[in-house]
A and B are shown apart, each in its own frame.
Chain A
Amino acid sequence: MTYLKELFATRELLYNLTMREVKGQYRRTVLGQLWSLLNPIATMLVYTVVFSFIFRARPHVGDPSGLDIYPLWLMCGLLPWLYFSRVVNGGLNSMVSNSGLIKKVYFPRMHLPFSVTASVGFTWLIEMGVLVLALQIFGGWPIWWIPVALLVMVLLAFFAVGVAMMLAITNVHFRDTQHFTTIVLQMWMYLTPIIYPLSLVENAARDIGDWVLTVYRLNPMERFVEVFRNLLYDNRWPELGDTLFIVAVSGIVFTLGFWVFSRNERRLAELL
């Protein structure tokens, strides 16, 4: 409880650390913050060419929005995924990359992974804003769903930072963690229906057995992607089961991350 109080009392530090990331990131670039948009757009183009034109993947038609545009459908899943993976990567490295600070000054160290979550979140917010605009222009009606989508974004932030906090501690002990995580994230992305629709997995499950789908859907990111698509692409309420699943997972993972981090925080300076 005292730790929470201290975190709250030093919230200005969190803001300043976040702004350090946000401002520092695109200094001395001509395009500045625009780079944060160019990156996902480039990824979108690559996946669209490969999966839409070459493999002829068909997204489901938005119900009730009626949208049938692969790149937009893709982005509704890809942007949350990119956010998640950037927070996990940045958060797990935040101890090692700020070791100079940790070894010289006392402050609640949890602000470091939090500031990564917030600064990456700032970029994500811009990306999602552009996506909503595009969806609106191409005939969807995501505007009404923005408040709910924002709530789900907050949930994803809690989930991501929870994972990042656990890995950050592990990474201080074993630097293998960062390399291992890169591989896991890569595989995890393909195990999540981001570039292909869930119906492909459902078809496969019909041939092999229902357990495939059950196991597949244990992946919290699958649920998050599903919920974001329901809200923004389909423009409808997500399934109650999915909603409860992501609320529970975010709560549990964040609490676990918080617990692991706060228990190990005191020894960080000597371990780094």
Chain B
Amino acid sequence: MSADTAAVVVDHVSKKFKLYRERNQTLKSAVMRGRKTVAEEFWAVNDVSFEVPEGHTFGLIGRNGSGKSTLLKTLARIYYPDAGSITLRGKAASLLEVGSGFHPELSGRENVYLNASILGLKRREVDARFDEIVEFSGVEKFIDQPVKNYSSGMYVRLGFSVAVHTNPDILVVDEVLAVGDGAFKEKSRQKFLEFTRDGKTVILVSHSLPQIREMCDQVAWLDKGTLREVGDAETVTEHYEKALVDEKE
């Protein structure tokens, strides 16, 4: 894979967290601690490098605490790497939690505009896509109701719909495919396929290996913050499954 077709280049990225023995964020504890640092360093992501080719769906797999989510948040510019760099070609949008930033007292319509602008869309652009967003979410009837009256499914569907309609070049997704009922899941799957058909890139984290195999072309396997393997989805998931079984024995 040559550099000019890579949508995302992850170059020796490391991210550390400080673990405080006392998780007490008060001035008193800081003063008592004095100059001594009691923080331990913990490398959640350690020297990970890979490239994500443009127009493909890329999966991140690994066990709990393997650093998938940290890496995803770093890709979404919520965390900043302590070492290494991430290069994104094009506009990136993240879908780590849908409907974040919804104001419960405001109507669905107002929240669509608010949420879309948090995700970086201009008012004009929302105007143009508004009907599409509402139709996709399937909450037409309730769009002028305050979202606090929405069922949790409606809430999530509307949030999801706004996010996928922000028209990013790179979409970063954290297990949100598990939202909504079967019909909506199928709809979102179709949307992702449409994305990659248009030459856009999707990066997703999932614990469901069948889903990963079905949707992803390439997969990176993370283990305790380091990269175990990256490559073809079938091969890597097979190795991963084998490792899980081996461990149990």
A residues neighboring B (CB under 8 Å): 10, 12-13, 15-17, 19-20, 23-24, 27-28, 100-107, 173-176, 266-267, 269-270
Chain A residues, CB < 8 A from B123: 12
Q: Are A104 and B78 in contact (CB under 8 A)?
A: yes
- Which single residue of chain A is at the shortest CB-CB distance from B26? A176
CB proximity of B88 to chain A, nearest CB, Å: 11
Chain A residues, CB < 8 A from B153: none
CB proximity of B35 to chain A, nearest CB, Å: 16
B30 within 8 A of A: yes
- Which single residue of chain B is at the shortest CB-CB distance from A9? B120
With contact pairs A24-B106, A101-B100 given, residues A173 and B25 touching in the complex (Cβ less than 8 Å):
yes
10 extra interface residue pairs, beta carbon distance < 8 Å, beyond A10-B117, A104-B96, A270-B17: A20-B103, A23-B105, A101-B101, A102-B78, A104-B78, A104-B97, A105-B101, A176-B26, A269-B79, A270-B79
- Which single residue of chain B is at the shortest CB-CB distance from A14? B117
B73 within 8 A of A: yes
With contact pairs A12-B123, A104-B97, A267-B80 given, residues A23 and B117 touching in the complex (Cβ less than 8 Å):
no
B76 within 8 A of A: yes
Measured as residues with beta carbon below 8 angstroms from the partner, the interface class of chain B is 20 to 34
Question: Which among A106, A175, A270 is the interface contact of B76 at CB below 8 angstroms?
Answer: A106
B177 within 8 A of A: no
With contact pairs A10-B120, A16-B117, A107-B118 given, residues A174 and B25 touching in the complex (Cβ less than 8 Å):
yes
Chain A residues, CB < 8 A from B105: 23-24, 27-28
CB proximity of B146 to chain A, nearest CB, Å: 8
With contact pairs A106-B77, A174-B30 given, residues A20 and B114 touching in the complex (Cβ less than 8 Å):
yes
Question: Which among A28, A173, A269 is the interface contact of B73 at CB below 8 angstroms?
Answer: A269
In the docked arrangement, what's the CA distance between A106 and B88, Å?
Answer: 14
Q: Are B118 and A13 in contact (CB under 8 A)?
A: yes
B110 within 8 A of A: yes
B1 within 8 A of A: no
Give a binary string over B91-121; 1 marks a CB under 8 Å from any A CB, 0 the rest.
Answer: 0001011001101011000100110011110
B33 within 8 A of A: no
Chain A residues, CB < 8 A from B96: 104-105
Chain B residues, CB < 8 A from A19: 114
Question: Which among B25, B94, B120, B122 is the interface contact of A175 at CB below 8 angstroms?
Answer: B25
